[in-house]
Amino acid sequence: MKNKTQRTGALITALFLTQSVVFFSYEAQAAQKGKTKEAPTILETSESTESTDSTNNLISLHYFVPHRGWLIQSDLSVMGNDSEEKDSSGNTISKSTTSSLDSDLAVTYGVMDRLDLGLAESYQFNHKNDSKSTGSTTTDTQKSKGFSDPTLELLYRFLSEPSSPLLGDFQLAVTPSLIKAKSSSTTRDGNNASGATSVAVGPHLYYSTGPNEFGATLLGEYNFSGTTDGGTPDEITTKPYLVGAFTLQYRGHLSEVFYFQLSGVLNFGFSTESNIKSNNSTSKTSIPLVAYPIGEIGYLFMHGGLVYLRLEYINYKADYSTTPPGGSSINNSEQFKQSTLSAGVKFTF
């Protein structure tokens, strides 16, 4: 069966912007991240901060940490994914099932009335991929776990007028590659490092009317070239690439302590290219334009304390092309169906 760690183009970039305005990065590529060839998690942007108006609180879609204030957020997410890989003729090559348990912690501090700084880190308890080739009775299992690279974030509120229902933030997030990325195989575990530094920027706009809040986010991320330990004697290098997403949000407040939220994410199409040192082969991945929904509910259980539950579902296809030295390319595709359930808590003081 094909070594799935050499499917270097499988994208896993997911920028998860939390309500605390701290950036969680679920990393860059499957080859970089050191995981199995899993679903390319799509770039996701989510809600941001609150107005400096004192009538707003933690339950607001646009919550902003006040000057010299703190916000701590932690959540736990469970991901499940089923995928089917086919060759260029449409014949099934293999089927895979992937599961993952991840935890995130983010801390944000209000440096000034209009400026927040944040630091975020995630830990992957267990990422497991079970794959079986067509006609085979053997299941290949690959695992990964560990800490991610930390993310540093700056959020500036450039638009905030007491007489206007319109608010605006600008976000800058940097995830430096500090941990050596390690890919997984059937004989060794991978880690949760990205293998490449990334920089993300984008604006957030919010509009409120009565119990209804609306949000729009345009986020772009540039991933620099990266290197992953693919196992002796492999070394996987990935070229720079750009990915972006547009998100629309609606949050309805059913009471002063309870809300529900519906979001739609449009992830722009993009391509990645990687090289495997041991055999000098080139691997490319193309992800088309993808749209998917996110649902969320939240409850303000105490002053400065909120719990929430979020569910998202993604269904998309990735196209792969692998070219050996001096040979012709081999083209495959893979259909992914992925669900992620997250539960979290926020505290501000």
- Give, for 263, the enclosing helix (H) or strand (E): strand 258-267
Percentage of the chain surpassing pLDDT 90?
75
pLDDT at 21 over 50: no
Residue with tokens 């939240």: 298
pTM of the prediction?
A: 0.85
Q: Lowest-pLDDT range, 13-27, 212-226, 262-276?
A: 13-27
Alpha carbons 320 and 332: distance in angstroms, whole number: 5
Q: What residues are paired with 276 via a beta bridge?
A: 236, 281
Banded pLDDT at 25 (limits 50, 70, 90)? very low
Rounded alpha-carbon distances, angstroms, from residue 253 to 61, 107, 138, 298, 306: 10, 26, 51, 10, 14
Banded pLDDT at 11 (limits 50, 70, 90)? very low
Q: Give tens-digit pLDDT for 41-56.
A: 445 444 443 333 333 5
What per-residue confidence (pLDDT) applies to 22? 31
Give the tokens for residue 241: 């690439």
pLDDT at 29 over 90: no
Q: Give tens-digit pLDDT for 30-83.
A: 333 334 444 444 454 444 433 333 335 899 999 999 999 999 999 999 999 999
Q: Lowest-pLDDT range, 108-117, 227-236, 303-312?
A: 227-236
Domains of the chain: 4-348 (2.40.128.100)
Mean predicted lDDT score pLDDT of the chain: 86
